């Protein structure tokens, strides 16, 4: 089915895979992801709703754990990024190197606690102490999401894992913007406290992996484009279910 974004034709998946290459395919892909996110009721509710402080507190703990699952915790927890790096590192395909190098730089920064420190500052402003945060664990919806994504990133073709991670970066951008609005509308969190979300909400920020960099050398032949698309759709599908389920902590 043909869709439009701002009166611009959005090709179907098959048309895009067949007709677009390189930058054109990446542009279409990102437009598709944003268009899909716009159909998710939770994002609209998050950005415009009024909620109780305790509900927001519980909801944001789950979002902190979601972020932690991506970057990895302390010790031997590699996080989703660690799985992607291991997956790409096993490939002999030189086109995997660009994606790998873009991810590795940020991963090293994260292992030194960049996002963790910012999130801890945010949670402190929401009244969540360090010990409570340390003892917090994801609920069933979060555990299922982590399990699905761990398999996607570690056991798929490397192109599929790269597509899934690029999709995550776009999803995180849009979701972070909604969360900033949630906190501005309902809490007294300071601008410094919002930095954990703002660095993701600002697409050009140097501390965020550029999703185009992950894909720019991959999407030139039909097989690779299809593999990338598989990763995008699988992560979108898993993320949608996760977002729907954790809304119960907010409502």
CB atoms within 10 A of CB 234: 19
Grade residue 74 by pLDDT with cuts at 50, 70 and 90.
low
Q: What are phi and psi of 149, to 5 degrees?
A: -75, -35
**211 pLDDT more than 80:** yes
Percentage of the chain beyond pLDDT 70 is 91
Listed in sequence order, the residues at least 6 apart from 249 whose beta carbon sits closer than 8 Å to its beta carbon are 55, 58, 59, 62, 139
Helix axes 96-111, 114-125, angle to 10 degrees: 50
CA angle 27, 196, 120 (to 5 degrees): 150
Which pLDDT band holds residue 130 (cuts at 50, 70, 90)? confident
The pLDDT, as a whole number, for residue 233 is 95
**Average per-residue pLDDT for the chain:** 87
User: 14 or 114: which carries more pLDDT confidence?
Assistant: 14
Q: What is the pLDDT of residue 5?
A: 40
What average pLDDT does the segment 67-82 reach? 77
pLDDT score recorded for residue 113: 64
Residue showing tokens 């990763």: 231
Q: How confident is the model at residue 76 (pLDDT cuts 50, 70, 90)?
A: low
pLDDT greater than 80 at residue 112: no
Mean pLDDT of the region 97-124: 81
pLDDT range class, residue 222, cuts 50, 70, 90:
very high
> Within 13 Å of residue 176, how many CA atoms lie on the same side as its CB?
21
């Amino acid at each position: 089915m043909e869709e439009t974004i701002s009166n611009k034709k959005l090709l179907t998946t098959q048309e895009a895979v067949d007709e677009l290459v390189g930058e054109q395919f990446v542009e279409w892909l990102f437009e598709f992801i944003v268009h899909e996110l716009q159909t998710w009721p939770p994002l609209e509710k998050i950005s415009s709703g009024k909620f109780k402080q305790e509900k927001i507190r519980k909801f944001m703990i789950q979002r902190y754990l979601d972020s932690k699952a991506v970057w990895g915790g302390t010790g031997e927890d590699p996080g989703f990024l660690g799985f992607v790096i291991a997956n790409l590192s096993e490939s002999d395909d030189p086109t995997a190197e660009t994606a790998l190098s873009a991810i590795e730089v940020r991963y090293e920064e994260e292992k030194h606690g960049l996002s963790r420190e910012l999130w801890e500052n945010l949670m402190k402003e929401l009244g969540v102490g360090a010990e409570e945060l340390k003892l917090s664990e994801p609920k069933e919806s979060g555990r299922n999401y982590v399990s699905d994504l761990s398999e996607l990133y570690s056991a798929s073709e490397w192109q599929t894992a790269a597509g899934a991670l690029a999709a995550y970066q776009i999803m995180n951008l849009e979701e972070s913007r909604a969360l900033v609005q949630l906190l501005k509308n309902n809490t007294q969190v300071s601008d410094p406290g919002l930095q954990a979300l703002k660095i993701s909400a600002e697409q050009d920020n140097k501390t965020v992996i550029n999703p185009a960099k992950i894909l720019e050398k991959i999407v030139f032949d039909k097989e690779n484009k299809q593999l990338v698309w598989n990763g995008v759709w699988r992560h979108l599908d898993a993320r949608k279910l996760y977002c729907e389920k954790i809304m119960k902590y907010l409502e």
